[in-house]
Chain A
Amino acid sequence: MTQYILGIETSCDDTAAAIVAEDGRVLSAVTASQIDIHAQYGGVFPELASRAHLTSMLPVVDEVFRAADLTHKDIKAIGVTRGPGLIGSLLVGLNTASALGLGWGIPVIGVNHLRGHLRSVDLNEKRVEYPAIILLVSGGHTFLAHMDEAGEITYLGGTRDDSVGEAYDKVGRMLDLPYPGGPKVDRLAKTGEINIPFPRPMLNEGLEFSFSGLKTAVSKYLRKTADPKHEDIAASFVDAVIDVLMTKCRRALKNNPAKSLVVVGGVAASPQLRAAAGQLCTDLDVKLCLPPLKWATDNAAMIGLAAWDYVKLGLEYDPIPQVRLPIHEY
């Protein structure tokens, strides 16, 4: 009998469950979004996120089985995000997964959320050719890593302050765009002109990033400019971000063996980033691997597929929360 993995993801503000086959097919995926809860705060309010996870978790699990027309008897194991993430949010998913595993008599595997993002590209279709350079850009993370055929990951460099997603959301707030601001900044940018010379922090320094200064530059520009054109600010900000990200990707691709560039995380949904990454890969003759938009942001299907890697490698990580968990760890 074919068996599947139930993935559970609650690291931040999405309550998600998915049923995933070994080859990456997603039989069903359900996500309860908390955007409406956090919109009034302009960002994720951890205590409210945790409360909402508890209310939504079992209905989401129930729905994912109904949508796939499967029962727990079709499940071989549960993969659940063990970190990194908000502790109150992680605990709801981990305790739920542990109890489901105990009640159903199946193993529960704690999965690194970041490895889930890396695997999101292979959901429903195998896309990545290894070795690969991975750019993870989300609200919580920004880094470059190298991954070989065996799944070994080498961290190449990351942000020293804000993540790209954080910078997008903060600039979105400055431009009076509703939360979450990132996608709206991209949309606004398309209507403006790139005519403001915002800084490109750490452009010529290795593979590290810094976005705090860029965010501050936008804030200062808004303060000192009479009647600022928000669409031009958005266009110039996005241009600066993309310039930094692509310069670092180009450097990483030139200095490391790579057949693919993998761009994952919520910001991978940015049309400007997707277009720029496509151009870079054409220039350097490497394959561009992007997750379908629905798998770019946090989801449980990617956790389920990552959990299959753990099963194949015989890795048994306890479902215990790790608020900080580096990419090279499982």
Chain B
Amino acid sequence: MSSILFIDTSASPYDVIITRAEQVVFNSRDHQTMSEVRDLPIIVNYAFRQIDITPADLTLIAVNVGPGGLSSIRSGVSFANALSFSLKIPVAPFSSFEMMGHELTAETDLPVLGTTRGAGKNVYACLFTADQPTVMCYGIFAEVVQELTADLDSFAVIGTHRAEIQALGLTQQIWDSERTKGTLPAMLAQTDLLNSRQRTYPQIAHPINEQTLETAL
């Protein structure tokens, strides 16, 4: 029976979900005491005290590798890699943009343009289309948005720059999702994607940064 630990530390509060046979048996959002905790090990240890599953029952660890807060993403990825190593089970990386895209697939068929902050005037941006590989870019905000959307008639926006994208004066039709990020439950049904990403030591998950856009997933 599959038991999966899902980890998202891209932003505060951190999210931890554990599923068993595709049913959620723990969701940190249901536990008020965990909402202010910024230490992932505390949340995960708390989770295993609440349920009748032990770490040894896990069959997969799925972890958000970003982009997001630099240190917070590295915390989640370090934890996921080491738990994978110690339990000898696979780790499967997914991105903040896949979380954004899958968040909106029930509401729209439009391609989804997601953005998160980068260093200085740079942003991470991604064009997400269901069942197609995601295309991620890093660079100056207006330049990457225009590059990713040049061939589109219309698209949806999600992320931290929705207002700025709409203020760029682009000719395309833009649907505002009114959301700043995706949520972890959006990944629960993505078993095919996660199975295709499984890696075991010496292969590990790597955080997405400007140097690893093409290799992290």
Contact = CB atoms under 8 A, between A and B. Distances in A.
Given A58-B85, A58-B204, A98 B41 contact: yes
Q: Which secondary structure dominates where chain B touches chain A? A: helix
Contact of A54 (B40, B41, B78, B85): B78
Contact of A319 (B41, B83, B201, B204): B41
Contacts of B16: none
B41 A103 contact: no
Given A96-B81, A103-B55, A91 B71 contact: yes
Most buried by B among A50, A91, A94, A108: A91
A173 interface: no
A97 B75 CA distance: 11
Interface in B64-96: 70-71, 74-83, 85-87
B71 A87 contact: yes
A51 B209 contact: yes
A55 interface: yes
Nearest to A102: B55
B154 to A, nearest CB: 37
Contacts of B101: none
Nearest to B201: A58
Given A91-B71, A102-B44, A54 B82 contact: no
A99 B83 contact: yes
A92 interface: yes
Most buried by A among B39, B48, B71: B71
A322 B150 CA distance: 47
A244 to B, nearest CB: 36
Interface of B: 39-42, 44-45, 48, 55, 70-71, 74-83, 85-87, 201-202, 204, 206-207, 209
Given A51-B209, A92-B75, 6 more contacts: A50-B71, A57-B81, A95-B75, A95-B82, A97-B82, A320-B39
Interface of A: 47, 50-51, 54-55, 57-59, 61-62, 72, 87-88, 91-92, 94-100, 102-105, 108, 318-320
